[in-house]
Amino acid sequence: MKNIDGEVTDFHQKMAKSMHSLLKAFTEGFEAMDKAKSDELENQLEQQDAEQKRATKLDKLNLGISNLEALTSKLKMSFGDDQGSAPSSVEDVQAKADISQPAQAAPSQAEAEAKKDEAPIDQSFLNSKIKAGTHKLTIDISKPP
C-alpha cells in the first residue's frame, strides 16, 4: 500500500510539473502574440503618420510650384512686347519695365483706405525656397516668326 501511495504521489508531482510548464509556455506564447500585435499596430500608425507628412510636404511643394508658375506667367506677360530680345542686365530689365508700364493716376482717398485694409499675401514659404535655392526658375521666351 505504501508503494502504491508513493507512486501516486510521484505521479501527481510529475503531472503538476508538466501542467506548470504547459501553462508557462501558453502564457509566454500569448504574451508574444500580444506584443507582435501591438508592434504591428505601432508600425501601421507610424506608416500613416509618415504618409500624412509626405502628403503635407507634397501639398506645400505643389503650392510653391503653382506660385512660381503664376509669377513666371506674370513675368512673361510683362515682357510680352519684347519677346525677341532678352535683357542683358538688371538695369535693362528695370528700364524696359518702367518704359512699358503706362502712367497711372493717383489713387483716390477711398482706394488708398481700401488698400490699407487688405491683408498682405504671405509668401514666406516661397521666399524661403527661393533663398534656399531649392527651386530652379527657367523662362522660355520664344522669338516671334
Grid coordinates representing 74? 506674370
Q: Is 133 left (phi over 0), alpha (psi -120 to 50) or beta?
A: left
pLDDT in tens, the chain (145 residues): 788 899 999 999 999 999 999 999 999 999 999 999 999 999 999 999 999 999 999 999 999 999 999 999 888 888 875 555 554 555 665 555 555 444 444 556 666 665 556 555 555 655 655 555 555 555 666 666 5
- Are the C-beta atoms of 72 and 139 separated by less than 8 Å? yes
pLDDT for residue 21? 96
**For the whole model, what pTM was predicted?**
0.36
Q: Is 25 exposed, middle or buried (0-12, 13-18, 19+ CB in 10 A)?
A: exposed
pLDDT for residue 1? 76
Q: Is 68 exposed, middle or buried (0-12, 13-18, 19+ CB in 10 A)?
A: middle
pLDDT for residue 65? 93
Grid coordinates representing 40? 504591428
pLDDT for residue 112? 60
